[in-house]
Amino acid sequence: SARPLSRYWLQRVITAREEDLVETGPPNTLADLEAYAESTQSALLYLQLEAAGIKDKNADHAASHLGKAVGLATLLRGMPHHAQARRCYYPVELLAKHKFSQEDLYAGKSSDALKDATLSIAGAAKAHLDEARALCAAMPAEARPLMLGAIPCRLFLDALQ
Protein backbone atom coordinates (compact mmCIF):
# COMPACT_ATOMS: atom_id res chain seq x y z
CA SER A 1 0.00 0.00 0.00
CA ALA A 2 1.14 3.52 -0.73
CA ARG A 3 2.43 5.58 2.15
CA PRO A 4 2.02 9.33 2.10
CA LEU A 5 5.32 11.18 1.99
CA SER A 6 5.83 14.54 3.60
CA ARG A 7 6.54 17.37 1.22
CA TYR A 8 9.02 18.83 3.69
CA TRP A 9 12.02 16.65 2.75
CA LEU A 10 11.56 17.02 -0.99
CA GLN A 11 11.08 20.76 -0.61
CA ARG A 12 14.26 20.91 1.46
CA VAL A 13 16.22 19.24 -1.35
CA ILE A 14 14.75 21.57 -3.97
CA THR A 15 15.41 24.67 -1.89
CA ALA A 16 19.04 23.67 -1.23
CA ARG A 17 19.63 22.99 -4.92
CA GLU A 18 18.02 26.28 -5.94
CA GLU A 19 20.17 28.18 -3.44
CA ASP A 20 23.23 26.38 -4.83
CA LEU A 21 22.39 27.62 -8.32
CA VAL A 22 22.20 31.22 -7.09
CA GLU A 23 25.19 31.13 -4.72
CA THR A 24 28.43 31.35 -6.71
CA GLY A 25 30.96 31.54 -3.89
CA PRO A 26 32.33 28.67 -1.82
CA PRO A 27 30.79 27.76 1.52
CA ASN A 28 32.35 29.54 4.48
CA THR A 29 32.92 26.52 6.71
CA LEU A 30 32.99 22.76 6.63
CA ALA A 31 29.82 22.89 8.75
CA ASP A 32 28.14 24.84 5.92
CA LEU A 33 29.20 22.16 3.44
CA GLU A 34 27.84 19.47 5.78
CA ALA A 35 24.56 21.38 6.07
CA TYR A 36 24.28 21.36 2.27
CA ALA A 37 24.89 17.60 2.26
CA GLU A 38 22.26 17.16 4.99
CA SER A 39 19.73 19.17 3.00
CA THR A 40 20.35 17.30 -0.24
CA GLN A 41 21.47 13.75 0.54
CA SER A 42 20.18 13.10 4.07
CA ALA A 43 16.76 14.45 3.12
CA LEU A 44 16.53 11.84 0.36
CA LEU A 45 17.34 9.10 2.87
CA TYR A 46 14.65 10.43 5.22
CA LEU A 47 12.19 10.15 2.33
CA GLN A 48 13.27 6.55 1.72
CA LEU A 49 12.76 5.71 5.39
CA GLU A 50 9.34 7.35 5.25
CA ALA A 51 8.43 5.43 2.08
CA ALA A 52 9.44 2.18 3.78
CA GLY A 53 7.30 3.03 6.81
CA ILE A 54 10.31 3.08 9.13
CA LYS A 55 10.03 5.41 12.11
CA ASP A 56 13.11 4.96 14.24
CA LYS A 57 15.40 7.56 15.78
CA ASN A 58 18.53 5.45 15.22
CA ALA A 59 17.67 5.00 11.54
CA ASP A 60 17.01 8.74 11.24
CA HIS A 61 20.29 9.55 12.97
CA ALA A 62 22.19 7.09 10.76
CA ALA A 63 20.53 8.60 7.67
CA SER A 64 21.68 12.04 8.77
CA HIS A 65 25.29 10.92 9.07
CA LEU A 66 25.23 8.78 5.94
CA GLY A 67 23.71 11.60 3.91
CA LYS A 68 26.41 13.98 5.06
CA ALA A 69 29.10 11.44 4.17
CA VAL A 70 27.62 10.72 0.74
CA GLY A 71 27.11 14.42 0.09
CA LEU A 72 30.69 15.30 0.99
CA ALA A 73 32.08 12.40 -1.06
CA THR A 74 29.92 13.35 -4.04
CA LEU A 75 31.17 16.92 -3.89
CA LEU A 76 34.77 15.70 -3.69
CA ARG A 77 34.24 13.39 -6.64
CA GLY A 78 32.82 16.31 -8.63
CA MET A 79 35.49 18.86 -7.68
CA PRO A 80 37.41 18.64 -11.00
CA HIS A 81 34.20 19.18 -12.98
CA HIS A 82 33.12 22.03 -10.72
CA ALA A 83 36.55 23.65 -10.98
CA GLN A 84 36.32 23.61 -14.80
CA ALA A 85 33.00 25.44 -14.43
CA ARG A 86 34.72 27.88 -12.01
CA ARG A 87 32.73 26.63 -9.02
CA CYS A 88 34.48 25.97 -5.74
CA TYR A 89 33.02 23.85 -2.96
CA TYR A 90 36.13 23.91 -0.77
CA PRO A 91 35.11 25.94 2.29
CA VAL A 92 36.76 29.35 2.72
CA GLU A 93 38.14 28.21 6.09
CA LEU A 94 39.98 25.33 4.38
CA LEU A 95 41.22 27.56 1.56
CA ALA A 96 42.73 29.88 4.18
CA LYS A 97 44.03 27.14 6.46
CA HIS A 98 45.80 25.29 3.64
CA LYS A 99 46.85 28.46 1.80
CA PHE A 100 45.56 27.84 -1.69
CA SER A 101 43.30 29.95 -3.84
CA GLN A 102 40.22 29.36 -5.90
CA GLU A 103 42.21 30.53 -8.93
CA ASP A 104 44.79 27.77 -8.35
CA LEU A 105 41.92 25.30 -8.21
CA TYR A 106 40.39 26.67 -11.42
CA ALA A 107 43.78 26.48 -13.14
CA GLY A 108 43.99 22.79 -12.25
CA LYS A 109 47.12 23.21 -10.15
CA SER A 110 47.71 20.25 -7.89
CA SER A 111 49.52 20.90 -4.64
CA ASP A 112 50.02 19.51 -1.18
CA ALA A 113 47.69 22.24 0.08
CA LEU A 114 44.90 21.05 -2.22
CA LYS A 115 45.50 17.45 -1.16
CA ASP A 116 45.39 18.44 2.51
CA ALA A 117 42.11 20.32 2.05
CA THR A 118 40.66 17.35 0.17
CA LEU A 119 41.72 15.01 2.96
CA SER A 120 40.12 17.32 5.54
CA ILE A 121 36.76 16.97 3.79
CA ALA A 122 37.29 13.24 3.25
CA GLY A 123 38.11 12.83 6.95
CA ALA A 124 34.84 14.52 7.91
CA ALA A 125 32.97 12.24 5.50
CA LYS A 126 34.63 9.15 6.98
CA ALA A 127 33.73 10.27 10.50
CA HIS A 128 30.08 10.54 9.43
CA LEU A 129 30.26 7.09 7.83
CA ASP A 130 31.66 5.64 11.05
CA GLU A 131 28.84 7.25 13.06
CA ALA A 132 26.23 5.87 10.66
CA ARG A 133 27.75 2.41 10.85
CA ALA A 134 27.75 2.48 14.66
CA LEU A 135 24.03 3.31 14.63
CA CYS A 136 23.12 0.50 12.22
CA ALA A 137 23.21 -2.17 14.92
CA ALA A 138 20.49 -0.36 16.87
CA MET A 139 18.16 0.29 13.94
CA PRO A 140 15.43 -2.01 12.65
CA ALA A 141 16.70 -4.64 10.22
CA GLU A 142 14.40 -3.37 7.47
CA ALA A 143 16.19 0.00 7.56
CA ARG A 144 19.65 -1.43 6.89
CA PRO A 145 19.25 -1.95 3.12
CA LEU A 146 18.50 1.76 2.82
CA MET A 147 22.00 2.45 4.16
CA LEU A 148 23.83 0.52 1.42
CA GLY A 149 24.88 3.82 -0.16
CA ALA A 150 27.65 3.69 2.42
CA ILE A 151 29.52 1.06 0.40
CA PRO A 152 30.48 3.06 -2.71
CA CYS A 153 31.02 6.09 -0.51
CA ARG A 154 33.51 4.18 1.67
CA LEU A 155 35.28 2.75 -1.39
CA PHE A 156 35.72 6.21 -2.89
CA LEU A 157 36.96 7.72 0.38
CA ASP A 158 39.38 4.82 0.94
CA ALA A 159 40.77 5.33 -2.58
CA LEU A 160 41.61 8.95 -1.69
CA GLN A 161 43.98 7.87 1.09
CA triple 127-87-159, angle to 5 deg = 35
Look at residue 145 and tell me if it is in a domain. Answer: yes
Residue 68 CB partners (closer than 8 Å, separation 6+): 34, 37, 38, 41, 42, 124, 125, 128
Q: Helices 150-160 and 112-136, interaxial angle, to 10°? A: 150
Look at residue 60 and tell me if it is in a domain. Answer: yes
Question: What residue numbers bound the domain in which 17 lies?
Answer: 7-160
Task: Quote the number of domains for the chain.
Answer: 1
Q: How much is the pLDDT for 1?
A: 54
Look at residue 2 and tell me if it is in a domain. Answer: no
The pLDDT of residue 158 is above 60 = yes
Look at residue 1 and tell me if it is in a domain. Answer: no
Q: For the full predicted model, state whether its pTM sits above 0.85.
A: yes
Alpha carbon 85 to its chain centroid, in Å, reads 20
Rounded-to-5 percentages of helix, strand, coil across the chain: 75, 0, 25
pLDDT digits (tens, 9 = 90+) for 28-58: 999 999 999 999 999 999 999 999 999 999 9
- CATH code at position 91: 1.10.600.10
Q: How much is the pLDDT for 26?
A: 94
pLDDT digits (tens, 9 = 90+) for 101-111: 999 999 988 89
pLDDT digits (tens, 9 = 90+) for 60-82: 999 999 999 999 999 999 999 99
